[in-house]
Amino acid sequence: MAYPLLRGFSWRARNVEREKDVFVDSGILQGVAVLSLIFFIVVLIPFAGPVMIIMTPLPVLYYCYRFGRMRGLAVLAVSFLIVSGILSLLGHRPNIPVLLMAGFTGVMLSEVLKRRYSLEKTLLIASLALFFFGIGFIFLHALRTGMAPWQIVELYVTGIIHDNIRIYERLDISADHLLLIRENLPQITRFFTGIFPALALSGAIVTVWLNLLAGRLLLQRNSVGFPDFGDLSSWKAPDRLVWILIASGGMALAPSDTLNIIGVNLLIVCGLIYLFQGLAIAGFFFRRRKVPVILRSLFYILIVIQHYMIIVVIAFGLFDIWVDFRKRIAGMKDKHA
């Protein structure tokens, strides 16, 4: 009778040790330190926060994918409790929904990647999950406050516009320009409230895409079985998307406010997809022509700070349907070889 008891005790001891290993681990401590630091930057530094929040899911994705779901959730939970506790003691109220969305994105991306879908399916599922998670927060806040969801969005948009006005004042923007914004504030607010769905979905897509790219570099470098999405510079949007683009352009010009808003929303999403295709063409060109890293970096920086560059890249992505730029670039390379 002693042997079964000893075996049972030994089995329980191994389980306790295994559970201990899950939560007491140098990787976990490192992850908590990194994610806590990022959370503090997001909450406490106004200018760095909006930039850092986009990449906040990355450490959660990394630890969930590399070390397992439990370790990733442990990193997220402990970091969240540490940051919330310290900020509460300091009298600072953190934006809980934003931090939760960042954490959710990392966990969700890890789970989607483990299913090894295609690039398009991975991006679609993850982006829609993040988008509807954010919409859920809006509806939850609406139920709690008794306000309509679109009123909450309108207040959010108004706050962003006022914040931008204050930034413009510090940058010594001309008084006439500021006066023009203030005089047209209701119309500007109404317009951005109307296109908020497209902006939110585009933000979700960009967040997922950037974290996928960064996660791919980190996880492949550490010999973890990250899905092989192939040569991203060869990616192109479905040819049929151009018909949605044409239809949305027609709706944007229609004599109906409802159709206008729907059309503009669709145009924004289509433009983002063709932007990705244009970036793929640029990446193909850089690789084939062996463009130095510093020039590539300068190109991407220009896209971020110069809006007209975005339009140019979108145009390349759109006209690639008829021109096939990558075929021409490959032909140019073959002639020089």
Q: In the chain, what are the domain boundaries? A: 232-337
57 near 98, Cβ under 8 Å?
no
- Nearest residue to 287 (alpha-carbon basis) of 336, 333, 235: 333
Given this model, what pLDDT does residue 108 score? 92
Q: Which residues of the chain have pLDDT under 50?
A: 1-23
Task: Give the pair of three-digit tokens for residue 213.
Answer: 């790219």
| Segments in the chain forming alpha helices (H) | 2-23, 26-44, 49-55, 57-67, 69-89, 96-114, 119-145, 149-170, 175-183, 185-194, 196-221, 241-253, 257-289, 293-305, 307-323, 325-336
Neighbours of 113 (CB within 10 A): 21
The overall average pLDDT reported for the chain is 83
Task: Give the pair of three-digit tokens for residue 325.
Answer: 């730029």
- Residue 269, CB half-sphere, CA atoms under 13 Å: how many? 19
Q: pLDDT by residue (tens digit) across 151-200?
A: 889 988 888 888 777 777 777 777 777 788 888 888 888 899 999 999 99
Given this model, what pLDDT does residue 31 score? 81
Given this model, what pLDDT does residue 209 score? 93
Distance CA 266, CA 317 (A): 16
Distance CA 280, CA 231 (A): 9
Given this model, what pLDDT does residue 279 score? 94
Given this model, what pLDDT does residue 16 score? 42
